[in-house]
Structures are given as C-alpha cells and as structure tokens.
Homo-oligomer: A and B are copies of this chain.
C-alpha cells in the first residue's frame, strides 16, 4: 500500500472519524459533549492499559534491550527541545517564555497520541515493543524539566542585570514596587523549579503509567487474564469515545489558529514531520521492530497537550497558553494521527526492508 492509500485507509478508521465528528460537532455549535467525569477518567484508563501491556511485554524481553533506546530517546528529546527553542526564538521571533513553552510542548510526548498510535498499529496488524510504554513514562517530564530549568536561568540572569542597574543608578528605586516584584518573581521562580519537578513526577499520568508498568511486570500474562477484557479488549472502543471529546476540544480551538500566525502553523507541521522521521530512522538503526520504530518516531513527533497546559501554566506563567495548546491540539495532533502515522509506517517498512 502506498502512503496515499494508507492515509486514506487510516482516515476511514473509527478513531479518526469520531475525532472528525467531534470537530464537526464543535464547529456547528452542537451541544454534544462527553461528560467531564468520563473524559477525565479515560486518560487514566488508557495509560493504565498501555502500562499493563508494556509491563507484561517487558517481563518477556527484559530490561537490557530497553536501555539504549531509552537513553537515545531522552537525548533526542533534549536536543530537539533546544533546537525548537532556537527556531522559535530566532526565526519565529517569539519571546523567551513562549519559545521555551512551545519548545518543551513539542519536545514532550503525547500520551493520547501514543494510544492512537497503538490502535493504528493494531488495525494494521503490526506489533511494537512493550518497553516503549516505559520510554513514554520517562520522556514525559524530561522536556518540561529542561525548559523550566532554562527559563529559570534566563529569568535569573535578567533579574541579576536589572538589580545591578537599579543599584548603580538610584537608591530610591529600591522602593519601586516593580523592582521588588521582579526580585520576588525570581525567588518564586526558583522555588517553583523543584515544585514543578515534583509535580511532574507525581502527576497522575506518570504515576498511573509507571505504576501500571510495574504491575504488568509483576503479574505477567497469566495474572492479566481476568482483567484482560477491561484493560485490553475495551481499549479500542474507549479511545474512540475519548477522541470524540478531543475532537470537540480541538474544534473549539480552530478559531484560534488564525491568531497563532502562519509561522507557528508551519512549525506545528514541519517539526513533527522532521522529528518523526528522525525517530523512525534512528530506532530502525537501533534494531527496533517495524511497529516499534513507528511508535518511537511518534514519541518524538507528538506534542503534549494534556500535561503541557497543567505544567507550563504554573511553571512559565508568562507564556501564552493559547499558543501551545492550539498548535499542539489543533494542528499537530490531527496531523500526527491522520498523516504522520501512515508516513512513518511506510518509512519504517521501507527501512526495515533495505
């Protein structure tokens, strides 16, 4: 199957179609919505299912085969985050805060995108390595932590400079509330670094994902049997329901795309493409399977739109959330699940057949 046919056939899967239905519903201002309790529960369920599956697989394959891919993934994620920052700051002329926020949004990974990827592969009858769930878990905070650390450094420097200037030129300015506020902000910022680090690691996504990996590892295939129906067989249907809601949220964001500007629109499509292709190539080289390489590529191609707002809003409050939420959820997510998945599968198959 060529890429075009694969994209077409992918378009006609329930996951993508219900996502589009959600978008349409939002556009025609329908009152369709998935109750909040359900849409808050579904990511927890999806991550538990992903984690259990990954843990069970890792029991068979062991840890060793995972180590190199994981370190490569972390390294790539960090490099890409820095690279995004340079592009956004230099070419896109975004301010420091927006640049770091966007850079880490795209350096981080999307758990929902990952779920859709698994369901896409299953539809195509392709399997992937279980340890990718563990990489997903580890990769989640990496990019945020880097971005927040660098933002803090930048702010500290700025404050330092201003403080010196203040001290040099005037003594009365000490009472200037803005100057005080700035100083306080820098302290707040530094405190919030550990704060954010702590919050990222104890965030529900990581806790349930890591926990489920360990549980999957502990119970193995046999212990999984009684709950397989809920945590494996229902997965495909559950993700369809979740994507209705994702579509509705994305649909509401579509208007905002006009405001993010053409540069960011281009960024939201080109960067995932490049990152995804690199991911597929590198992981093929590392010896991952056809499906594993697709998922590895997807980890790098995906942007975070559930964890990101929660973390960044408190960590880099100066950045505009409408920028990173809109581009990640409104552009990159649909692009990834509709276009990139087929591209990466074709590429991965091609590379594995060389």
A residues near B, CB below 8 A?
12-14, 17-18, 21, 24-25, 28-38, 40-41, 44-45, 119, 122-123, 202-204, 207-208, 211-212, 214-215, 218-219, 223-224, 226-227, 229-231, 233-234, 236-238, 240-241
Contact = CB atoms under 8 A, between A and B. Distances in A.
A351 B17 CA distance: 41
A221 to B, nearest CB: 12
A233 B227 contact: no
Given A37-B37, A215-B14, A236 B226 contact: yes
Given A31-B204, A35-B40, A231-B240, 11 more contacts: A14-B226, A21-B207, A21-B212, A25-B211, A28-B202, A30-B207, A35-B36, A35-B41, A122-B226, A229-B236, A230-B236
A279 to B, nearest CB: 25
Given A18-B215, A38-B41, A218-B17, A32 B227 contact: no
A203 B30 CA distance: 6
A217 B12 CA distance: 10
B204 A14 contact: no
A36 B41 CA distance: 10
Contacts of A40: 35
A18 to B, nearest CB: 7
A224 B229 CA distance: 18
A334 to B, nearest CB: 16
Most buried by B among A14, A44, A234: A14
Contacts of A223: 12-14
A34 B47 CA distance: 13
